[in-house]
Amino acid sequence: MKLNGNVSKKYNVYYRVHVQDYGWLDWAKNGESAGTIGLSKRIEAIEVKLVKKGENAPGATNRPCVEPKLEYSTHIQDYGWQGSKYDGEISGTIGESKRLEAIKINIKNAKYAGSIKYQTHIQDIGWQENKSNGEISGTSGLSKRLEAIKISLTGEMSEKYDIYYRVHAQDYGWLGWACNGQSAGTEGMSKRLEAIEIQLVKKGANAPGDTNNCFYKK
């Protein structure tokens, strides 16, 4: 949405949208994108305001448009592959005592060169070799639990972003946030992973939460 002619010299046009599952997003202005990209979410309402040049925006302007950077999916005991989750959403289950058996992770809409790699610790197997860019890490049809995971970025992506992740582990609940290849989960304790959250954070910015106690090893 843009203004034309003389009015565009005196005013900025601000607009925000109410999106399925997200609610109100932040304010966009003067032709910026508002809504979601690649998530199949409908716009349910829109608000538009004219603001004089030089005056403050009507509200927050941090996230007027949601375009996922990360896509991940887990294979869950008794359920199989769960639908894709994005950018910090929970993949897996909580309170159902279901083990994660495999995971695949991919970077979406990458603006920088590089990839994502990840490694899982599997019941009776130990640390599996690194997988990357949507490959399956773990097992399917073997009833083996994931017990821990490491995730890291490569190339220019690793220079621009930190990758944070935390797991929900049997008997522990949510552990602290691990970062850039650290182990998250448990090793040698026979505890299943039940859910995971993954987030990309701009390099050097604050962690999404507590980073203590992200991993336990016996």
Q: Which residue has the tokens 């994502």?
A: 116
Tokens of 212: 């203590």
pLDDT the model gives residue 69: 86
- What confidence score (pLDDT) does residue 137 get? 98
Rounded-to-integer distance, Cα 137 and Cα 149, Å:
10
CA distances from 142 to 30, 59, 126, 191, 192 (A): 54, 51, 14, 17, 14
Q: What is the pLDDT of residues 47-60, one digit of tens each?
A: 999 999 999 999 99
- Asked if the model's pLDDT at residue 24 lies above 90, the reply is yes
Interacting residues of 23 by C-beta distance below 8 A, sequence separation 6+: none
* pLDDT given for residue 113 in this prediction: 93
Amino acid at residue number 205: A
Instruction: Give long-range contacts, CB 8 A cutoff, 24+ apart: 130-137.
Output: 131/104, 133/106, 133/107, 134/104, 134/105, 134/106, 135/104, 136/75, 136/102, 136/103, 136/104, 137/102, 137/103, 137/104
Nearest to 68 by CA among 105, 18, 31: 105
Condensed to tens digits (0 to 9), the pLDDT of residues 65-103 reads 988 789 999 999 999 999 999 988 999 999 999 999 999
Over the chain, what is the mean pLDDT? 95
What pLDDT shows up at residue 111? 79
Quote the percentage of the chain above a pLDDT of 70.
100
> Could you give the CA distance from residue 70 to residue 84 in angstroms, rounded to a whole number?
10
Segment 127-154, tens digit of pLDDT: 999 999 999 999 999 999 999 999 999 9
Return the DSSP state at 94.
Answer: S
pLDDT at 110: 80
